Amino acid sequence: MTHQAPWQQPPSQNQTPTRIAARGLLKTYGTTHALAGVDLDVAPGEALAVMGTSGSGKSTLLLTLAGIERPDAGQVDYNGSGGRNMDIAALNEGERSKLRRAEFGFVFQEGLLIPELTAVENVALPLMVAGSPRLSAETQAAGWLAQLGLAGMETRRLNELSGGQAQRVAIARAQVGGARVVFADEPTGALDSRTSSEVMDVLLTSTVGRGATLIVVTHDAQVAARCDRTVTMQDGRLVG
């Protein structure tokens, strides 16, 4: 029997495409304008790279689009599952947390995996937190690990994985719940060039390859070149 990859499953007929539209985003830390009036549209199924020097505001932009940070002014319109439109910036903390659990996935530079857990337990954790039985969660998690090239490594812990393997675990964890948008902050920043390319292959295939939206913050021009479009932050503004 042939098994489809998780991102090859046909979409629901009533699924509405994901779309994020930011308007007039302002965010200040003391006297620093991290976001100084940002407007940005992210299309359904798009891979968008956000570049800029350290302190340019690119990570703040990512965190604000994801509802982790709340802007001082402006709005982030999100077209969620079932065609529900919402302003993420206007939601309270509980509503934003629920949205992140249900529809967003996150990949960070260091992966932020729990070292005491195995690979399959790390990936299954979001499902169990959402109420899935352990066996079901770990079965789904194992499927993702297999499709990302980690079959047979389910019981390995973080210290038994290479940097690239650990990032694949993080990518699986970000999407095991069916994330419609994946936010990646320097996902290849700690990897060598060859491993970086391999991880980007996996990240792009498993996100935009199944119709999800990918937003990547990166310093690496080669990583950005793999995406559909690149925007550049400078002093809290988009300049290109």
Under DSSP, is residue 65 helix (H, G, I), strand (E, B) or coil?
A: helix
pTM of the model: 0.89
Alpha carbon distance 192, 48 (integer Å): 22
Output the CA torsion sign for 127, 133, 137, 138: positive
pLDDT of residue 165: 94
How much of the chain, in percent, has pLDDT values that exceed 90? 81
How much of the chain, in percent, has pLDDT values that exceed 70? 92
pLDDT of residue 111: 62
pLDDT of residue 213: 95
Q: Which residues pair with 105 in a beta bridge?
A: 182
Under DSSP, is residue 181 helix (H, G, I), strand (E, B) or coil?
A: strand
Q: What is the pLDDT of residues 123-181, one digit of tens each?
A: 999 999 989 999 999 999 999 999 999 999 999 999 999 999 999 999 999 999 999 99
Confidence bin at 5 (pLDDT 50/70/90) = low
CB of 206 closer than 8 Å to CB of 198: no
Q: Is 60 exceeded by the pLDDT of residue 35?
A: yes
